[in-house]
């Protein structure tokens, strides 16, 4: 039989295993986020479910410092700034609000990525700093505050209940007076190694790695990879002909929230990149794509939440001739932003009023808008212009405009402020985009079930695909170009509900099956590529690539096959689906034009850690992140225990000394009575 140790620690502490911490991020000038002291922060638990409960913590309670278990509906700027200004609070555990807060909740900024887009004092100053349109009015900026105590999210309702029960049993005040000891306490560990700013932490890390044998790096740049592919294959290691025109279609694939690696991003990212993937599939099914005069490049940018990491890097690479496509090859730019929350099925077309003052740009933008509008006829989507006086919303297109006047349009579900009331928050979940499934479906049935959300996003993808076909010079009737709602359903399920599903398992490489966690998160992170990047890469390859008859050896080493055109295509040996009659899979080789390119801010390539031109976001390193609860005795009892312990120690030392000093008397051997002395 198995034997299990019953340690003292396990008898004292209850660990909280399903938590997400708030961690420290840094940019050129600031540090944001949270941290604990080096040995963790401890406090007596107090449950705060309404604002009146705060007075106990802030003034009346006799046992500070307190660890607050905060109801999710009170997790807002006003409450947190009250707690920030007192020494009576040692930390915060936040319970998720169910249902989502009806008033909306966004810890992001009112003006996302301000200062890193195209508008500045030199370019459209009337639009800079959201002077014309506040895009995220619900934004509280909480994610961009610096807290000197730990804040954890409690992801598991059962653990929240355990804490509440411990509070009920030991900590509830009796008629205004403090509860009796022992009290229920919580300890949170989230000490961060980096301080002040990216400039400081990168300099320290650089000095350590230069002069130390065992360097201790204190922060890492946020980085990952962009995913891109083309409709017609191009030489990924060469350069596109200067005369060849390319239409770029773009979306972001990352999101963010107040807590580390909690970034569902249903409306802010997933709705748009899923629509983009569906449009790419619809276009690849068209028979005459090889005859189109212009190529189409499908681009998925990573790290856009943090001052456009992915798009600024691609523009930088294009300017420095480190990318197959040059800026001068770009014919036009179409970006899908937030598209799932449409009013009356209307999509808004946003353009840049400043570059449109140029006549040639204006003519091309006009043509782009007309093609998009006419492509929606007969579809269940209406496209309308947001208006000439409206600036562009926060978008990757702005980074391209900084470099060159490119005709472009950004498609969104909002004319002015975001429809999304949970932008960059933990509540931007499938429920936010009205994804609903009937009761009692198995995971496999849920994967295949076509929701209304999937149907409406497939409509958008159809319109975008038809418009792109015409923009690229396609002359045939576009009514046959149709995005597949079934594919959209599978993608929404995989990217929002359960990554570890049968479809995702069948389209990835065998050595990547470990990336398929359960609940998908879309935070850019510091170790790359992240799961989202891999999955977008393989979904895109699956939807736009072709199955080729190569053996595993040939597929993994295509350069050995003369007809493989290694520079033009990427080859992937994927797991395949389960054989119905056995437990083994049927793997195969996929050939596609899908590639990865670096999404690391140029500021780190150039070692300009204080850059105002490029993103400078880094994430602090840490050693230990954990949370636990336990019972704590009163100070008096602790002092009595200590004093009694010291007294016993002194007495035992004294006794040992005296016994040792009189040892010859106490332990002398008695004489043998039989021996007589003469």
Q: Please write the tens of the pLDDT for every residue from 250-286.
A: 999 999 999 999 999 999 999 999 999 999 999 999 9
Query: What is residue 528's predicted lDDT score, i.e. its pLDDT?
Result: 76
Q: How far apart are CA 245 and CA 296, in angstroms?
A: 9
- State the residue for tokens 């050693």: 623
Domain residue spans of the chain = 7-191+625-636, 223-540+593-600, 546-592
Structure tokens at 338: 């937030």
Cross-strand pairs, 384:
348
Map tokens 């961060």 to a residue.
Answer: 192
pLDDT score, position 663: 84
pTM given for the model:
0.92
CATH topology of domain 223-540+593-600: Aminopeptidase (3.40.630)
Using CA atoms, how far residue 676 sits from 25, 406, 671, 672, 673, in Å, is 91, 122, 10, 9, 8
User: In angstroms, rounded to a whole number, what is the distance separating the alpha carbons of residues 503 and 419?
Assistant: 31
> Which residues neighbour 547 within 8 Å (Cβ) at sequence distance 6 or greater?
588, 589, 590, 591
Q: How far is CA 577 from CA 448, 504, 506, 510, 633, in A?
A: 15, 9, 5, 11, 58
Q: What long-range pairs does 52-58 form, CB within 8 A, spacing at least 24? A: 54/79, 54/82, 54/83, 56/173, 57/83, 57/88, 57/89, 58/82, 58/83, 58/86, 58/88, 58/89
What residues in the chain have per-residue pLDDT under 70?
1-6, 670-678
CA distance 678 to 673: 14
Token pair recorded at residue 397: 């297109």
CA distance 318 to 403: 10
d(CA 333, CA 524): 24
pLDDT of residue 676: 56
For residue 151, give Cα distances in angstroms to 85, 376, 598, 610.
15, 47, 32, 28
Question: Is 129 strand, coil or helix?
Answer: helix
* 55-94 CB burial, b ≥16 within 10 A, e <16: ebbbeebebbbbbbbbbbbbbbeebbeebeeeeebbbbbb
Among residues 559, 267, 314, 318, the alpha carbon closest in space to that of 421 is found at: 267
Name 657's Cβ contacts closer than 8 Å, sequence gap at least 6: none
Helix (H, G, I), strand (E, B) or coil at 346: strand
Task: Supply φ then ψ for residue 459, to 5 degrees.
Answer: -60, -45
Distance CA 91, CA 110 (A): 26
Tokens of 440: 């009692």
Alpha helices by DSSP H, listed for 320-389, are 359-375
- H or E, element range at 506: helix 502-507
At residue 315, the pLDDT reads 98
């Amino acid at each position: 039989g198995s034997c299990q140790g019953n340690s003292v620690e396990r008898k004292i502490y209850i660990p909280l295993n399903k938590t997400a911490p708030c961690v420290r991020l840094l940019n050129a000038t600031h540090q944001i986020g949270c941290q604990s002291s080096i040995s963790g922060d401890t406090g007596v638990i107090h449950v705060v479910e309404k604002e009146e409960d705060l007075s106990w913590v802030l003034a009346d309670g006799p046992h500070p410092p307190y660890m607050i278990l905060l109801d999710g509906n009170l997790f807002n700027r006003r409450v947190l700034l009250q707690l920030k200004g007192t020494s009576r609070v040692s930390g915060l555990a936040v319970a998720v609000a169910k249902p989502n807060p009806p008033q909306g909740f966004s810890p992001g900024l009112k003006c996302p990525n301000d200062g890193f887009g195209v508008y500045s004092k030199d370019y459209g100053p009337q639009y800079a700093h959201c002077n014309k349109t506040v895009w995220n009015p619900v934004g509280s900026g909480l994610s961009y505050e610096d807290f000197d105590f730990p804040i954890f999210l409690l992801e598991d309702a059962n653990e929240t209940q355990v804490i509440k029960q411990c509070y009920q049993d030991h900590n509830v005040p009796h008629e205004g007076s403090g509860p009796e000891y022992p009290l229920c306490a919580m300890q949170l560990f989230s000490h961060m190694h980096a301080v002040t700013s990216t400039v400081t932490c990168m300099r320290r890390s650089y000095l350590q790695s230069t002069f130390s044998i065992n360097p201790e790096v204190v922060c890492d740049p946020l980085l990952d990879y962009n995913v891109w592919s083309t409709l017609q294959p191009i030489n990924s290691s060469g350069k596109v002909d200067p005369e060849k025109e390319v239409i770029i279609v773009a979306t972001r694939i990352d999101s963010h929230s107040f807590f580390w690696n909690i970034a569902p991003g249903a409306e802010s990212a997933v709705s748009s990149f899923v629509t983009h993937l569906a449009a790419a599939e619809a276009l690849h099914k068209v028979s005459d794509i090889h005859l189109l005069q212009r190529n189409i490049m499908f681009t998925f940018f990573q790290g856009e939440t943090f001052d456009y990491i992915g798009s600024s890097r691609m523009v930088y690479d294009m300017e420095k001739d480190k990318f197959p496509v040059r800026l001068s090859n770009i014919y036009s730019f179409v970006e899908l932003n937030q598209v799932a929350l449409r009013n009356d099925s209307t999509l808004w077309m946003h353009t840049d009023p400043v570059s449109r003052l140029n006549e040639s740009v204006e003519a091309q933008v006009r043509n782009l808008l007309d093609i998009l509008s006419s492509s929606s006829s007969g579809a269940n989507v209406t496209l309308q212009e947001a208006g000439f006086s409206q600036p562009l919303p926060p978008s990757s297109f702005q980074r391209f405009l900084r470099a060159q006047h490119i005709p472009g349009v950004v498609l969104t579900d909002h004319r002015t402020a975001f429809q999304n009331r949970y932008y960059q928050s933990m509540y931007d979940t499938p429920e936010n985009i009205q994804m609903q499934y009937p009761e009692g479906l198995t995971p496999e049935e849920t994967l295949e079930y076509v929701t209304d959300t999937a149907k409406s996003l497939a409509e958008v993808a159809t319109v975008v695909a038809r418009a792109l076909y015409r923009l690229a010079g396609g002359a045939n009737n576009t009514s046959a170009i149709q995005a597949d709602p079934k594919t959209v359903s599978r993608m929404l399920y995989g990217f929002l509900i359960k990554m570890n599903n049968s479809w995702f398992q069948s389209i990835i490489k065998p050595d990547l099956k470990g990336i398929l966690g359960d609940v998908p998160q879309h935070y850019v992170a510091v170790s790359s590529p992240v799961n989202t990047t891999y999955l977008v890469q393989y979904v895109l390859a699956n939807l736009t690539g072709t199955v080729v008859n190569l053996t595993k050896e040939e597929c993994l080493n295509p350069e050995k096959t003369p007809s493989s055109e290694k520079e033009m295509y990427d080859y992937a040996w994927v797991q395949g689906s389960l054989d119905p009659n056995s437990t083994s899979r049927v793997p195969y080789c996929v050939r596609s034009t899908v590639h990865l390119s670096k999404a690391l801010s140029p500021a780190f390539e150039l070692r300009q850690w204080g850059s105002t031109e490029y993103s400078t976001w880094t994430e602090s390193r840490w050693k230990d992140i954990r949370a636990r609860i336990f019972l704590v005795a009163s100070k008096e009892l602790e002092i009595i225990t200590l004093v009694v312990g010291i007294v016993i120690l002194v007495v035992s030392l004294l006794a040992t000394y005296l016994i040792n000093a009189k040892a010859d008397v106490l332990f002398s051997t008695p004489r043998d009575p039989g021996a007589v002395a003469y």
